[in-house]
Structure 1
Amino acid sequence: MSRSRVVSLLAVLLVVIVAVAATVYGLLGPSDSENTGSEPEPQAATTAAPADDRGARIGVFRSTSPEEVQAFGDWLGRDVDYVIDFSRRSSWDEIANPYDQLRAWQEHDYRIVYGLAMLPEDKNLKVSLAAGAEGKYNRHYRQLAENLVEYGQEDAILRLGWEFNLGTWRWHPGEREDFIGYWRQVVTTMRSVPGAEGLEFDWNPSNGGNRYDSTRFYPGDGFVDYVGVDVYDISWAKKTYPYPAECDADCRLARQKRAWQDTYNSKYGLKFWSQFAARHDKPVSLPEWGLWDRTLTDGHGGGDNPYFIQRMHEFIDDPVNNVAYQAYFQYDVGDSGNHLLSSMPDSQAVFLEHFG
């Protein structure tokens, strides 16, 4: 056989071997131990789809009342997933041992979201965020975590120091290092309790405003599970609320639309918080949202405002905002105002249409 023919046959054989090897490799892929010569491409994080097709999980605040929560779900025609509650907080004992709430929700399947105080409200107690940052109050939060595990609420979500950006709360921060250090002490302490590893923490400012920069007090991604925002239909922007005398339907709607723009587009409004959460790869939560009739106080609420319900639904339903859960504040706070849907029939009908 001539040398040129041998070379041709060898070339054909080599092509066949390469083709077979490529096919086998394509079917089996590289082994775990194989060195491919380059780092694997990073994979985009994926967010699990909600359990049903109605968007973010729905919750409600109806005080510490399983019966009222059940009634709300019956009216909606669907199960309520999350329950918002607050423990009493005058003393360290009430913060660490909220037995009324623990017992009330013990036998129910709701996921509980607790407003968790960072400091007792009793002004006779000398307490501070700075002392908390030194770990001096850790034992109280360890006790709370042990209680949550004992009462079957080891998956609770804790709104630690909720609405800290409002100056009315005792835990309204002054020094950045004190707030962040204290937050990290609490989270680390509670997660260290056996069985409490599933507790989640919701960093939860109140929406809106153009001056107070809450982001200065963000504790860090390793200590936060949700970026929560409390949102109510209130506004002090020009030509919003209160409604002027003899304001007809067109007048009211125009003011409601301007109020929504204030809620959504203000410097620290809903749009800002959605983008902030995305930058930190955190889901958004809306632990409190609702209408607000303030006619008995200052009039700076929209009252019966179906437009607000519609726009909130659009925000919640938009996957860009990655809203994990949301809870309507279904409560009449008396002199402070009324949020009850039953008191606002036009909005109630729109709420039932979108969320029922």
Structure 2
Amino acid sequence: MPFGLGVAALGLLLATTAGAFTPEPTPGQGSAPTLPSASSFGAFLGSGPEGVRRSRHLERWLDGTAMTVGHTYLPGDLWSNIRGRPDFLRPWARWRAADADRLFVLNVPMLERNEAGLPDREVARLLRAGARGEFDHHFRALAERLVGHGLADAVIVLGWEMNGTTYTHRCAPDPGAWREYWRRIVTAMREVAGQRFQFDFAPSRGLDAIAWDRCYPGDDVVDIIGMDSYDQPPGEDFDDQVTQPYGLQHHADFAAAHGKPVSFPEWGLYRNGDNPAYMRRMLAWIEERRPLYHTISDYCPHGVWRCDENPRAAAVFRAALAGDR
């Protein structure tokens, strides 16, 4: 496994999934948690070359702490973009090649027109077409391009937040077809010579349009169980975010039951504003759960370095990560 998350670290991850979370310190007491060495840290800083450039500035803001995870999203407008244009992948390939301890995380849409607001009937039709293999060639082409650019060990966050309503690649219109389509995509990409991809199943926190375990496609085609979790309802405070149906504790328990490491591909502030208590609790949760990686969404309203709206939460984040820990 990448970045030193060996058997012992993975065992610790699985053994601690039922533990209690860290209480919120009272003002003037305690400090922000330090992150575990087994957990690779990153941030989403922009989809294209700007994300690579900004990573150096974020590291300076963190007093030299290395950002070991580069995270970006393929555009979901056209199949030509989902196949991974060389000019899109090339800057990230150079960033990855510069340090063997880096991990490249790529969110991959399962369907084009992914944010076009298509009706459920059309989504169901497309999912069934995917389950029949009609789109396999697009994902085989993506895998070939990733391998050709030296990104053969990328983490693929496929069809993220499938339990919601935002994306065309959502699960609820036909869960059975969605699961079979995921399996076909993974099979097609794994058939490409030289690949060592890890596939990350990453719902959004909570019960949305569908319980996300109904979308789970099977242990043989999932390597990591992620969760996107922002500071917003459902879950009025962090305790609710942990204990709510299909919340953070359910995520940890589900991953442990399936023998998978966890991740947090997207997390950050949101509807509750500049919330240092959330930031402290989420960092403590990350420290306890030891995810394979986590990447904060660093833009307003979610972020810290790039969002002046959240100075108190940013101070907590910086204190936890600064100093090359």
State the TM-score bracket (shorter-chain normalisation).
0.7 to 0.9
Structure 1, gaps ≥5 residues long: 1-44, 241-258, 293-300
Normalised to the residue count of structure 2, the TM-score between the two structures is 0.79
Q: Which amino acid aligns with 1:279?
A: A
CA distance in 1, matches of 2:44, 2:175: 31
Which of the residues 98, 105, 111 maps onto 1:119? 111
The CA deviation at 1:236 is 4.9
1:327 equivalent to 2:295? Answer yes
SS at match of 2:156: strand
**Would the aligned equivalents of 1:229 and 1:286 in 2 still touch at CA under 8 Å?**
yes
CA distance in 1, matches of 2:311, 2:38: 24
Structure 2, gaps ≥5 residues long: 1-6, 14-34, 97-101
**Would the aligned equivalents of 1:187 and 1:223 in 2 still touch at CA under 8 Å?**
yes
Matches within 5 A, 1:161-240: 161-173=159-171, 174-196=173-195, 198-209=196-207, 212-236=210-234, 240=236
Give the equivalent residue in structure 2 for 1:263. 241
CA distance in 2, matches of 1:195, 1:74: 35
Give the equivalent residue in structure 2 for 1:37. none
The CA deviation at 1:262 is 2.0
SS at match of 1:108: helix
CA deviation profile, 1:157-211 (whole Å, cap 9, x unmatched):
1111011111121011222220111001010110110111x11100010012377
Give the equivalent residue in structure 2 for 1:303. 273
SS at match of 2:75: coil
Which of the residues 291, 307, 314 maps onto 2:284? 314
Q: Whose relative contact order is higher, 1 or 2, with alpha carbons under 8 Å and at least 6 apart?
A: 2
**Would the aligned equivalents of 1:290 and 1:329 in 2 still touch at CA under 8 Å?**
yes
**Would the aligned equivalents of 1:158 and 1:199 in 2 still touch at CA under 8 Å?**
yes
1:71 equivalent to 2:57? Answer yes
Matches within 5 A, 1:80-119: 80-109=67-96, 110-119=102-111
Which stretch shifts more, 181-190 or 102-111? 102-111
**Would the aligned equivalents of 1:158 and 1:200 in 2 still touch at CA under 8 Å?**
yes
Give the share of equivalent positions with the same residue, in percent. 33
**Would the aligned equivalents of 2:206 and 2:234 in 1 still touch at CA under 8 Å?**
no
The CA deviation at 1:70 is 1.5
1:275 equivalent to 2:267? Answer no
SS at match of 1:271: helix
Normalised to the residue count of structure 1, the TM-score between the two structures is 0.73
Number of aligned residue pairs: give it: 276
